[in-house]
């Protein structure tokens, strides 16, 4: 005689009836899900998901059987909450710590004659939090099945879990996240290349071109906040697909309107829509942050962001290719190239990415994080690093054409050099994350700002002396060190909340699992906020160049402003995260 569970396709033997000790439970595998099976002293059999929603541990099979108000229950061995074996509902607390329903799935189960089955222990499971009616005998409707791309049990800090399944799943999601974010950055910076195609026949002066590149930067910054929340609302995979498909709007519009005679207002509107590409970064970073353990966050976030940042030099190289082959009279070709690439990225994300269901109830995290002082400190620091990177990436080609017009009198000449800085800055971003993993994000960030200040002084001296080699060298240094700083500042964010979680556990006796969940929730939210505020730095860079060239026909005033910003950010980094003082976050 065996015990059988209905897995949605039919009744499956899971263990021997005689193997069930009355009043005790066993853990079995149904597909790849852990199920706790119980036999009471009256001979009734029950089956529920083995995962305790309060601790995240798969332990309910070791719980204590009992009854409450006539209903059979099992008390979790972790925090003693009682779960009804008929409905799966928690009778003590309606909500789990992450805000989800505190219920376990109930499986149809019966005792039947059939082949002998060994009791199977399960090392890993992904039990969905749903409830279904159970029966002790006879046919029953199939239970609700978990969605194919939803993951409910995710424990990256567990070494066994990470080694057996976590690392492989995280790498797969990272790959498709980078692909989608890469194309998003290309679309976001599309107009930094398209302005090089806008010759005299379009009637736009240099100040007008700087505004064309500032608008998508501004919209991208604004969209980063709702894009961060979207991950918790729709799921990481689902939102990656949606956000990728949204990139079709600015590319199709640009392919339609770009021709001599189009109004400047129309170009401003179409350029602004390209800002949807800037939002992808925030949702991608918030999603990937949740997939990786603390010890690998610097590397993972650096790879994710660096791979995305490579979209800036990629679109600039494609623009150079179009200019060199088709000429400046065919700007439509550049956005049209991206339409099939966007479709492929959306398809790959739909087929191969996953949703971490625990993230779906973190909608309040954004409100929480806005009351956190570290939010605004880190946002200012990210203005200095990422704002410089994206702002210079958008403006460098125009600056060369205006300030060194004799050397860059054609779009092809300017495009042939503009990709170099963004390319190097993107490639070294993961290096910044790895350096922060080893020496600490704050130390690396402070050194980065010192180097960026030296680069800004070199650019200012080159501008005043009219030295093109020194000018290009200084700008390349700014790109490289801003890339390193991008990686190190984003490593600081999870380290801040990890230190706070450690203090909560060691000093205040907080639950370690809950402290870890709070750390992840706040880290993801701060990544979104800092990304949004930092992207506004790109707007400020373009506006600084616009006003400087309008006022003095050179960029000297802008370079002085950049130098002052880097000095301020260096002082802020030291004062908050490195200066010895009570309450300083340890290990940042």
* Residue 368 vs residue 452, higher pLDDT: 452
pLDDT at 146 over 60: no
pLDDT at 186 over 90: yes
- Confidence band (pLDDT; 50, 70, 90) for 282? confident
- Confidence band (pLDDT; 50, 70, 90) for 359? low
What domains, with CATH codes, occur in the chain? 2-146 (2.102.10.10), 159-578 (1.20.1250.20)
pLDDT at 132 over 60: no
Give how far Cα 523 sits from Cα of 42, 318, 372, 517, Å: 50, 35, 11, 10
pLDDT for 114: 56
* Residue 180 vs residue 165, higher pLDDT: 180
User: Rounded to whole angstroms, how far apart are CA atoms 325 and 333?
Assistant: 11
Name the DSSP class of 383. Answer: I
Mean pLDDT value across residues 264-291: 91
By CB atoms closer than 10 A (0-12, 13-18, 19+), residue 451 is middle
pLDDT for 141: 45
- Confidence band (pLDDT; 50, 70, 90) for 121? very low
pLDDT for 103: 86
Mean pLDDT value across residues 10-37: 86
pLDDT at 139 over 60: no
pLDDT at 393 over 80: yes
Q: Which residues contact 405 (CB under 8 A, 6 or more apart)?
A: none
By CB atoms closer than 10 A (0-12, 13-18, 19+), residue 296 is middle
pLDDT at 136 over 80: no
pLDDT for 117: 44
* Residue 285 vs residue 383, higher pLDDT: 383
Q: What is the DSSP string of 137-196?
A: SS--PPPPPPPTTEE----TTSHHHIIIIIHHHHHHHHHHHHHHHHHHHHHHTHHHHHHH
pLDDT for 148: 66
The answer to whether the beta carbons of residues 47 and 64 sit under 8 Å apart is no
* Residue 139 vs residue 537, higher pLDDT: 537
pLDDT at 217 over 60: yes
pLDDT for 216: 93
Closest CA to 186 of 324, 327, 339: 339
How do 150-151 and 355-356 pair as beta strands? parallel
Mean pLDDT value across residues 452-481: 94
pLDDT at 531 over 80: yes
pLDDT for 147: 54
pLDDT at 116 over 50: no
- Confidence band (pLDDT; 50, 70, 90) for 212? very high
- Percentage of the chain lying above the pLDDT 90 cut: 35
pLDDT for 362: 52
pLDDT for 135: 43
- 108-117, 124-133, 298-307, 337-346: which is most confident: 337-346
* Residue 581 vs residue 363, higher pLDDT: 581
pLDDT for 196: 86
pLDDT for 248: 97
User: Rounded to whole angstroms, how far apart are CA atoms 87 and 72?
Assistant: 10
pLDDT at 271 over 90: yes
Q: Does the model's pTM come out above 0.75?
A: no
């Amino acid at each position: 005689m065996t015990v059988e569970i209905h897995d949605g396709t039919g009744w499956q033997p899971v263990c021997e009836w005689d193997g069930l000790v009355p009043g005790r439970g066993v853990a079995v595998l149904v597909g790849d899900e852990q199920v706790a099976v119980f036999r009471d002293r009256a001979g009734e059999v029950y089956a529920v998901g083995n995962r305790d929603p309060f601790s995240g541990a798969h332990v309910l099979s070791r719980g204590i059987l009992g009854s409450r108000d006539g209903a059979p229950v099992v008390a979790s061995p972790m925090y003693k909450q009682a779960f009804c074996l008929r409905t799966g509902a928690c009778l003590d607390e309606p909500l789990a710590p992450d805000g989800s329903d505190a219920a376990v799935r109930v499986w149809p189960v019966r005792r039947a004659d059939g082949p002998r089955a060994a009791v199977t222990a399960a090392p890993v499971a992904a039990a969905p939090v749903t409830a279904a009616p159970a029966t002790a005998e006879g046919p029953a409707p199939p239970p609700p099945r978990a969605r194919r791309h939803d993951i409910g049990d995710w424990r990256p800090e567990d070494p066994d879990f990470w080694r057996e399944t976590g690392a492989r799943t995280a790498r797969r999601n990272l790959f498709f996240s980078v692909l989608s974010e890469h194309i998003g950055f290309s679309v976001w910076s599309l107009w930094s290349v398209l302005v090089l195609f806008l010759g005299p026949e379009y009637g736009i002066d240099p100040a007008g071109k700087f505004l064309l590149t500032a608008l998508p930067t501004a919209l991208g910054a604004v969209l980063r906040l709702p894009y961060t929340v979207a991950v918790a609302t729709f799921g990481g995979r689902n939102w990656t697909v949606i956000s990728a498909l949204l990139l079709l709007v600015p590319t199709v519009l640009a392919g339609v309107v770009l021709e001599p005679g189009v109004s400047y207002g129309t170009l401003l509107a179409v350029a602004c829509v390209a800002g949807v590409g800037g939002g992808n970064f925030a949702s991608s970073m918030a999603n990937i942050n949740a997939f990786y353990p603390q010890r690998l966050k610097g590397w993972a976030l650096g790879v994710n962001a660096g791979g995305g940042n490579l979209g800036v030099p990629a679109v600039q190289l494609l623009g150079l290719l179009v200019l060199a082959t088709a000429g400046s009279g065919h700007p439509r070709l550049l956005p049209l190239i991206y339409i099939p690439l966007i479709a492929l990225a959306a398809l790959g994300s739909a087929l191969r990415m996953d949703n971490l269901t625990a993230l779906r109830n973190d909608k309040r995290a954004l409100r929480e994080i806005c009351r956190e002082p570290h939010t605004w400190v880190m946002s200012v620091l990210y203005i200095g690093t990422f704002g410089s990177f994206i702002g210079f990436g958008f403006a460098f080609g125009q600056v060369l054409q205006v300030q060194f017009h004799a050397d860059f009198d054609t779009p092809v000449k300017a495009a042939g050099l503009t990709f170099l800085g963004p390319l190097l800055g993107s490639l070294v971003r993961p290096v910044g994350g790895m350096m922060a993993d080893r020496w600490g994000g704050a130390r690396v960030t402070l050194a980065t700002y010192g180097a960026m200040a030296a680069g800004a002084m070199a650019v200012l001296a080159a501008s005043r002396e009219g030295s093109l080699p020194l000018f290009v060298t200084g700008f390349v240094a700014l790109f490289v060190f801003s890339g390193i700083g991008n990686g190190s500042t984003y490593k600081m964010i999870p380290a801040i909340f990890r230190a706070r979680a450690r203090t909560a556990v060691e000093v205040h006796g907080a639950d370690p699992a809950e402290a870890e969940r709070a750390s992840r929730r706040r880290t993801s939210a701060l990544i979104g906020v800092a990304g949004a505020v930092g992207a506004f730095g790109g707007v400020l860079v373009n506006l600084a160049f616009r006003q400087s060239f309008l006022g003095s026909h050179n960029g000297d005033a802008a370079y002085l402003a950049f130098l002052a910003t880097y000095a301020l950010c260096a002082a802020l980094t030291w004062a908050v995260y490195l200066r010895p003082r009570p309450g300083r976050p340890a290990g940042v």
